[in-house]
A and B are shown apart, each in its own frame.
Chain A
Amino acid sequence: MRTRLFSLIFKEFLAIWKDPKSRTLILLPPILQLLIFVNAATMEVKNIKLGVIDRSNSIESRELISRFEASRWFKKVVYVKNEKNLRILMNNKLIMAGLLIDDDFNKRVNAKKPTKVQVVLDGRQTNSAGIISSYASQIVSSYDKTYIGQGGAGINIDIRNWFNPNLEFKWYTLVSMITLLSVVTTLLLTSLSIARERELGTFEQLTVSPLRPVEILIGKTVPPLCISVVVTLVMMTIAKLCFNLPFTGNIYLLIFATIVALLSIVGIGLFISSICKTQQQAILGAFTFQMPATLISGFVSPIEDMPQAFQVISAINPLRYHLVIGKGLFLKDMQAPDVIINLIPLMLIALLTLSVATYMFKAKLD
Chain B
Amino acid sequence: MNPILKALIFKEFKQIVRDPSTIIIAFLLPFILLLIYMYGIQLDTVRVSLGIKNDDNTPETQTLVKSFGHSKYVNSTIYDDRNEMYEDIVRGKLRGAITIPNDFSKKLSKGETADILVIADGSETNLANYVQSYASAISANWLNYASKYKYKVEVPVVSTDIRYWFNQEIDSHHFILPGSLAVTMTLIGILLTALVVAREWERGTMEAILTTKATKMDIVLGKYIPYFILGMCSMMFSVFMIVTVFQIPFRGSYLILFAVAGLFLISSLGFGLLISTVLKNQFLASQAALSVGFLPSLMLSGLVFPISSMPLWIQWISYFIPASYFVSFITSEFLAGTVMIVFLANSLYLSLLGAILFFAVYHKTQMRLDQ
Contact = CB atoms under 8 A, between A and B. Distances in A.
Nearest to A175: B123
A119 B282 contact: no
B147 to A, nearest CB: 9
A130 B295 contact: no
Contacts of B153: 152-154
Nearest to B86: A162
Nearest to A32: B291
A40 interface: yes
B89 interface: yes
Given A114-B159, A157-B118, A307 B44 contact: no
Interface string B318-330: 0000000000100
Given A47-B308, A192-B282, A127 B40 contact: no
Contacts of A305: 42, 46-47
B370 interface: no
Interface in A273-332: 276, 278-281, 283-285, 287-288, 291-292, 295-296, 300-302, 304-307, 310, 324, 327-328, 331-332
Nearest to A165: B122
B44 to A, nearest CB: 6
Interface stretch (A89-97, A207-215, A228-236, A343-351): A89-97
A159 B19 contact: no
Given A93-B342, A130-B170, A137-B160, A285 B21 contact: yes
A255 interface: no
Contacts of A134: 133
A164 B125 contact: yes
A117 B91 CA distance: 44
Interface string A112-147: 111111111111111111100110110011011000
Contact of B123 (A137, A295, A331): A331
Contact of A172 (B36, B42, B124): B124
A66 interface: no
Interface string B128-165: 11011101100110010000010011111111111111
B25 interface: yes
B54 to A, nearest CB: 14
Nearest to A171: B125
Interface of B, secondary structure class, is helix
Contacts of A287: 25, 29, 187, 191, 294
Contacts of B133: 134
B167 A123 contact: yes
A229 B296 CA distance: 23
Interface stretch (B108-116, B239-247, B255-263): B108-116
B310 interface: yes
Given A36-B317, A168-B125, A292-B33, A155 B116 contact: yes
Considering residues A108, A153, A161, which has the most beta carbons from chain B within 10 angstroms of its beta carbon? A153
B209 interface: no
A113 B113 CA distance: 22
Nearest to B41: A301
Given A26-B287, A124-B332, A150 B123 contact: no
Given A41-B299, A43-B129, A284-B24, A90 B165 contact: yes
B284 A22 contact: yes
A64 interface: yes
Interface stretch (B171-179, B213-221, B228-236, B266-274): B171-179
Given A40-B305, A284-B191, A119 B291 contact: no
Contact of B143 (A21, A40, A155): A155
Contact of A199 (B116, B203, B341, B342): B203
Contacts, number: 358
Contacts of B335: 123-124
Contact of A281 (B21, B37, B328): B21
Contacts of B172: 126-127, 130
Q: Which of B107, B175, B290, B295 has the most CB of A within 10 A?
A: B290
A163 interface: yes
A155 B136 contact: yes
Interface of B: 19-22, 24-25, 28-29, 32-33, 36-37, 39-44, 46-49, 89-92, 107-108, 111-129, 131-133, 135-136, 139-140, 143, 149, 152-168, 170-172, 174-176, 187, 191-192, 195, 199, 202-203, 279, 281-284, 286-288, 290-291, 294-296, 299-300, 304-306, 308-311, 314, 317, 328, 331-332, 335-336, 339, 341-342
24 contacts: A25-B288, A36-B300, A37-B300, A40-B299, A40-B310, A116-B161, A140-B158, A152-B154, A153-B113, A153-B153, A154-B114, A155-B114, A156-B113, A157-B115, A158-B116, A158-B117, A159-B135, A172-B126, A287-B25, A288-B25, A288-B29, A291-B29, A306-B42, A338-B91
Interface of A: 21-22, 25-26, 29, 32-33, 36-37, 39-48, 64, 87, 90-93, 96, 108-109, 112-130, 133-134, 136-137, 140-141, 143-144, 148, 150-165, 167-169, 171-172, 184, 188, 192, 196, 199-200, 276, 278-281, 283-285, 287-288, 291-292, 295-296, 300-302, 304-307, 310, 324, 327-328, 331-332, 338
Given A116-B158, A306-B40, 6 more contacts: A39-B314, A141-B159, A153-B153, A154-B113, A158-B117, A199-B203
Give me the 9 closest cross-chain CB pairs, A-B, nearest first: A123-B167, A164-B122, A161-B122, A152-B154, A123-B164, A29-B291, A153-B152, A172-B125, A126-B175
